[in-house]
């Protein structure tokens, strides 16, 4: 067993590690810190227990009060300890091995700074965060439940329009699979079913930005057994999700959000009633029978362009996050695909997302109570937006905001590095741990 692990490590040890080296130190510190925290808390509760129990009997009522207070605090602290202390319980001891591919498959693209910050950058973030993790990640593929294959396909920005060109995605992924399956035994062992990929652009595992082409191409044959982490998700049958998949949030930089939040608290003044900034074509082009945003954005512009409650902007503006922070409702209409980074940005900046994308499947439904923190307006009702939002503002807006401003909800959609329990990468790991029946290691144990 050990010699095999050693052989694999030698085989794949390449220059990639230099990019993600600082991990071990910080992990050591945090582990050490947890023990000190645990020790001091135990000491605190032990001594307060002695004190409360040594009081004379005439102070019973006060004693009871302080005791309940303590025990509530104790329960809270213990659950905190339990959760920070042994995250592996939730993840059932799951281990993930990250392939060390030649840099042309991934880190070479990072020479363009946009590669790790744009809306498709979860493919970079998840890789980087796993490399910095020593609890879930294993260096020994023989002990892994899942195999993460880090290929960045969304960083080939077109010089013409600045959008990512993903025409090379299929061949880059095939070539990576060719490499790992010829050099190591793990792909062949499971036909890739315990291997995990990220497909973070419009139509995910179909690797095309136009739905009709994406649908016609379908999921590449070579990926059909694997697990795809993708931003695309709908509740109905769709060729681009005919593969084991987990819906993940689009990437929004946690640093940019933190910077914006310094400007104003979540419950501060929101002087914009309805906000949208983005592409709103007045006369959308018919692109092989489809119209951008199914003309929903055009309809919004036509109907509400002159409505003073609506702050609608069609130009790009780098400071748009500060506008979200000033807004009560943020419109999140579909584009070419149903999903949008606006949903994440609205939530983390405390603006109630108004999701207009029929049938969309949203990330992490067991952790994020979507119905309680957002509004859904069907595409055909878009002309009634004004009335609908007016009604909500007059009735249950405060309760939606209260749910929305829950830190746990806001945490679940951001990719922190290092990973924080409850954040987006954590949620992905939880979703993977629910697929452990695909793990070769687990199935060979039983
Ligand atoms: C980048 O995209 C263009 C257009 O799809 C393609 O011709 C080119 O080969 C890609 N570059 C790489 C290195 O894959
Ligand atoms: C995996 O299968 C392919 C195709 O059958 C074969 O070419 C390759 O050598 C196999 N890999 C290993 C490590 O045996
Ligand atoms: C859009 O173009 C397609 C051909 O590409 C045509 O069949 C269809 O009727 C057009 N739709 C509209 C609403 O103009
Ligand atoms: C708020 O009201 C709207 C419109 O009546 C309803 O669809 C939504 O479910 C309500 N949300 C909450 C959290 O009560």
Cα–Cα nearest to 226, from 180, 248, 195: 195
How many other CB atoms sit within 10 Å of the CB of residue 382? Answer: 23
Beta strand 310-313 with 96-98 is unpaired
Token pair, residue 280, equals: 């709103």
Q: What atom in ligand 1 is closest to the CA of residue 168?
A: 14
Tell me the average pLDDT across 6-25.
Answer: 40
pLDDT of 7 higher than 50: no
Segment of 71-75, 110-114, 373-377 carrying the highest mean pLDDT: 373-377
pLDDT of 343 higher than 60: yes
pLDDT of 1 higher than 60: no
Mean pLDDT over the full length of the chain: 85
Q: What is the pLDDT of residue 215?
A: 93
Residues 123-147 pLDDT 10s: 999 999 999 999 999 999 999 999 9
For a pocket test of ligand 1, which of 167, 172, 174, 208 has the largest count of ligand atoms closer than 8 A to its C-beta? 167
Q: What is the pLDDT of residue 20?
A: 43
Residue 291 CA, ligand 3 centroid: distance in Å: 9
DSSP annotation string for 171-237: HHHHHHHHHHHHH-SHHHHHTTTTEEEEE-STTGGG--SSHHHHHHH-S-GGGTTSEEEES--BSS-
Tell me the average pLDDT across 427-440.
Answer: 95
Q: What atom in ligand 4 is closest to the CA of residue 400?
A: 13
Residue with tokens 């999701």: 355
Residues 230-286 pLDDT 10s: 999 999 999 999 999 999 999 999 999 999 999 999 999 999 999 999 999 989 999
* 352: Cα separation from own chain's centroid: 18
For the chain, the domains span: 23-88, 96-251+421-445, 254-411
Tell me the average pLDDT across 284-309.
Answer: 94
Q: Give CA–CA dist 61/426, Å, rounded.
A: 44
Residues 27-67 pLDDT 10s: 444 555 555 555 554 544 444 444 434 333 333 333 333 44
Cβ of residue 378 lying under 6 Å from some atom of ligand 4 = no
Environment class of 118 (CB within 10 Å of its CB; exposed 0-12, middle 13-18, buried 19+): buried
DSSP H helices, 310-439, are 320-325, 341-348, 370-373, 385-394, 397-404, 407-411, 424-433
Cα–Cα nearest to 179, from 283, 89, 105: 105
Residue 228 CA, ligand 2 centroid: distance in Å: 22
- 107 versus 87: the higher-pLDDT residue is 107
pLDDT of 390 higher than 60: yes
Q: Whose CA is nearest to atom 10 of ligand 4?
A: 396
Give pTM, 2 decimals. Answer: 0.82
Name the CATH topology of 254-411: Rossmann fold (3.40.50)
By three-state DSSP, how is residue 405 classified? coil
Cβ of residue 283 lying under 6 Å from some atom of ligand 3 = no
Cβ of residue 372 lying under 6 Å from some atom of ligand 4 = yes
């Amino acid at each position: 067993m050990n010699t095999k692990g050693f052989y694999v490590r030698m085989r794949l040890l390449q220059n990639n590690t230099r990019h993600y080296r600082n991990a071990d130190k910080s992990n050591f510190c945090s582990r050490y810190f947890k023990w000190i925290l645990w020790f001091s808390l135990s000491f605190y509760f032990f001594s307060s227990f002695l004190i409360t129990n040594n009081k004379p009997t005439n102070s019973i009522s006060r004693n009871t009060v302080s005791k309940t207070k303590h025990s509530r605090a104790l329960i809270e602290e213990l659950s905190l300890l339990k959760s920070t202390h042994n995250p592996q319980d939730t993840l059932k001891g799951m281990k993930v091995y990250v392939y060390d591919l030649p840099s042309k498959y991934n880190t070479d693209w990072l020479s363009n700074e946009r590669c790790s910050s744009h809306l498709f950058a979860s493919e970079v973030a998840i890789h980087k965060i796993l490399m910095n993790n020593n609890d879930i990640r294993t260096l020994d593929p023989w002990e892994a439940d899942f195999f993460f294959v880090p290929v960045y396909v969304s960083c080939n920005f077109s010089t013409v329009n600045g959008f990512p060109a993903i025409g090379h995605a299929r061949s880059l992924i095939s070539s990576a699979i060719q490499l790992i399956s010829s050099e190591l035994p793990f792909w062949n062992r499971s036909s890739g079913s315990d291997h995990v990929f990220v497909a973070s652009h419009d139509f995910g595992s179909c690797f095309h930005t136009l739905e009709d082409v994406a649908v016609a191409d379908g999921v590449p044959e070579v990926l059909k057994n694997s697990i795809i982490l993708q931003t695309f998700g709908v509740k109905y049958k769709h060729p681009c999700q005919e593969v084991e998949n987990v819906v993940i949030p689009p990437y929004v930089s946690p640093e940019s959000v933190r910077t914006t939040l310094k400007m104003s608290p979540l419950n501060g003044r929101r002087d914009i009633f309805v906000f949208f900034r983005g592409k709103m074509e007045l006369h959308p082009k018919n692109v092989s029978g489809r119209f951008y945003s199914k003309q929903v954005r055009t309809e919004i512009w036509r109907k509400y362009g002159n409505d003073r409650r609506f702050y609608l902007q069609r130009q790009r503006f780098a400071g748009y996050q500060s506008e979200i922070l000033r807004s009560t409702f943020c419109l999140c209409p579909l584009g070419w695909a149903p999903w949008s980074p606006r949903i994440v940005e609205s939530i983390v900046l405390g603006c109630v997302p108004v999701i207009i994308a029929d049938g969309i499947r949203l990330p992490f439904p067991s952790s994020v109570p979507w119905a309680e923190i957002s509004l859904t307006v069907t595409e055909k009702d878009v002309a009634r937006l004004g009335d609908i939002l007016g009604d909500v503002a007059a009735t249950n807006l405060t309760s939606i905001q209260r749910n929305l401003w829950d830190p746990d909800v806001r945490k679940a959609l951001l990719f922190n590095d290092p990973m924080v329990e409850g954040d987006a990468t954590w949620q992905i790991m939880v979703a993977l741990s629910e697929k452990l029946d695909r793990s070769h290691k687990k199935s060979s144990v039983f």
